[in-house]
Amino acid sequence: MLKGKRILLVVAGGIAAFKALELIRRLRERGAAVRCVLTEAGAKFVTPLSLQALSEDRVYGDMFSLTDESEMGHIQLSRDADLLVVVPATADLLARMAAGLANDLASTVLLATDKPVLVAPAMNVRMWTHAATVANVETLKRRGIHFVGPTEGAMACNEFGPGRMSEAAEIADAIERLVAPAARPLAGRRAVVTSGPTREAIDPVRYISNHSSGKQGHAIAAALAALGAEVTLVSGPVAIADPPGVKTVAVESADQMLAACQQAGRVDIAVCAAAVADWKVARPTGAKIKKKPGAPPPGLELTPNPDILATLSKPGAGRPALVVGFAAETEAVVANAIDKRQRKGCDWIVANDVSPATGTFGGDRNTVHLVSAAGVEDWPTLAKDEVARRLAGRIALHFAQPPKAEAAE
Ligand SMILES: Cc1cc2nc3c(=O)[nH]c(=O)nc-3n(C[C@H](O)[C@H](O)[C@H](O)COP(=O)(O)O)c2cc1C
């Protein structure tokens, strides 16, 4: 599964360093070549000899080694790797990475690399929750550093809480997701995903909107990106973070959302998960509408918004190969979705019941039905992340099938 992949493993000075030994075994079982960089503190916890014996390669640690620098150099170490992995990532090393320090071989290699970096933090719960570490982790995540763990559990320091390093198998899985091409079946595909509500201005301070949280659309964007797609997420105003690995374009109105989708350029996949307002105010005022004593409330004249799903589904040279719409319904969910698929001309509809009793709007779970030309699939109630992963998996399968099988759908 990791055949031919080269992992540069940075082993730092934490109690969990012993798990690096197990990780090397797991990675080698999966076919990867592992080369280790050991920090000075790391060498207090595991010996270079153990790392060398398990990796069957030299262990690097000294930045000023004349032989290492003449033969290979700190830059070459990262050039030769597909992925850099820090196990365990100590609070100190995370701080050095966030600050851009290069005061030992490990931090220099991590600063000098343009390869993906995965870190597996491990530390005392108070170190992990300290504002300094929290800020460093946020900085590193923003820069695209990948994290696995930490998990919650009993620690060597006789405390309990988040800070425990993920187990070797879990770290190996995370490594595989990052570097194994088989896990990226949508590599080379481009996708646009819409998410969240739209806001239609009444005047400069008031608007018409809906309860969409963006959780489902954002999760779909992340899931498609995780499978290798290049994703543009066009999001209405939401209170959740932009998903990692995705280009997010923030919009407010349906008009802006459509324009952003069209500006995303040619895509293979369009997933319209946003709850787009069907109508907008015909003539929003430039100044705040004032309440006048004794005067009746102003009437709101509405006019239809552009139909983003129907527009993207229009046959033509630029049409995405697969257009997926969402149908948020409060009654006759499946019947309405079947009708909507035909009216809009899209390929699939993900139908969900958004009646208040279901808790779908704003909640973390969703019960959906996938409607295609082949029929209707009823999916069980799942976490929105899991709905997203399944949908992304189905999309990957769709593109993996020969065209004939697709047409028969
Ligand atoms: C017994 C012992 C256990 C330690 N465990 C951890 C740990 O789990 N996580 C951590 O961030 N630091 C831990 N430290 C502190 C680090 O070893 C120290 O910050 C060191 O400078 C880290 O260097 P490095 O990041 O270059 O490996 C521990 C120190 C000692 C003495």
Pocket test for ligand 1, best of 15, 104, 155 (most atoms within 8 A of CB): 15
Ligand 1 center–CA 143 separation, angstroms: 24
Cβ(91) – ligand 1 distance below 6 Å: yes
3-state secondary structure the chain: CCCCCEEEEEECCCHHHHHHHHHHHHHHHCCCEEEEEECCCHHHCCCHHHHHHHHCCCEECCCCCHHHHHHCHHHHHHHCCCEEEEEEECHHHHHHHHHCCCCCHHHHHHHHCCCCEEEEECCCHHHHHCHHHHHHHHHHHHCCCEECCCEEEECCCCCEEEEECCCHHHHHHHHHHHHCHHHCCCCCCEEEEEECECCEECCCCCEECCCCCCHHHHHHHHHHHHCCCEEEEEECCCCCCCCCCCEEEECCCHHHHHHHHHHCCCCCEEEECCECCCEEECCCCCCCCCCCCCCCCCCCCEEECCCHHHHHHCCCCCCCCEEEEEEEECCCHHHHHHHHHHHHCCCEEEEEECCHHHCCCCCCEECEEEEECCEEEECCCEEHHHHHHHHHHHHHHHHHCCHHHHHCC
Residue closest via CA to ligand 1's atom 6 equals: 14
Averaged in consecutive runs of 10 residues, what is the pLDDT profile of the chain (409 residues)? 91 96 92 96 97 96 70 78 97 98 95 94 95 96 92 75 87 86 84 98 96 94 93 97 91 98 97 97 95 92 98 96 93 92 97 78 83 91 85 94 49
| b/e map 252-282, b = 16+ CB within 10 Å | bbbebbbbbbeebeebbbbbbbbbbbeebbe
CB atoms < 10 A from the CB of 209, how many?
Answer: 15
Pocket test for ligand 1, best of 60, 92, 124, 136 (most atoms within 8 A of CB): 92
Catalytic residue among 36, 157, 272, 346: 157
Tell me whether residue 272 is one of the annotated catalytic residues: no
Ligand 1 atom with least separation from CA of 41: 27
> How deeply is 294 buried, as exposed, middle or buried, from its count of CB atoms within 10 A (0-12, 13-18, 19+)?
exposed
Cβ(125) – ligand 1 distance below 6 Å: no
Ligand 1 center–CA 192 separation, angstroms: 43
Cβ(213) – ligand 1 distance below 6 Å: no
Ligand 1 center–CA 111 separation, angstroms: 20
| Whole-number pLDDT of residue 74 | 76
Q: Token pair 């990867």 is at which residue?
A: 32
State the pTM of this model.
0.56
Ligand 1 center–CA 114 separation, angstroms: 26
Distance from chain centroid for Cα 162: 22
Residue closest via CA to ligand 1's atom 25 equals: 93
| Whole-number pLDDT of residue 72 | 57
- Greatest extent of the chain over all pairs of C-alpha atoms, in Å: 89
| Whole-number pLDDT of residue 67 | 63
Spell out the domains of the chain, with CATH numbers in brackets. 6-182 (3.40.50.1950), 184-407 (3.40.50.10300)
Ligand 1 center–CA 128 separation, angstroms: 12
| Whole-number pLDDT of residue 75 | 81
- Confirm if 74 and 46 have CB atoms less than 8 A apart: no
| Whole-number pLDDT of residue 408 | 38
Cβ(39) – ligand 1 distance below 6 Å: yes
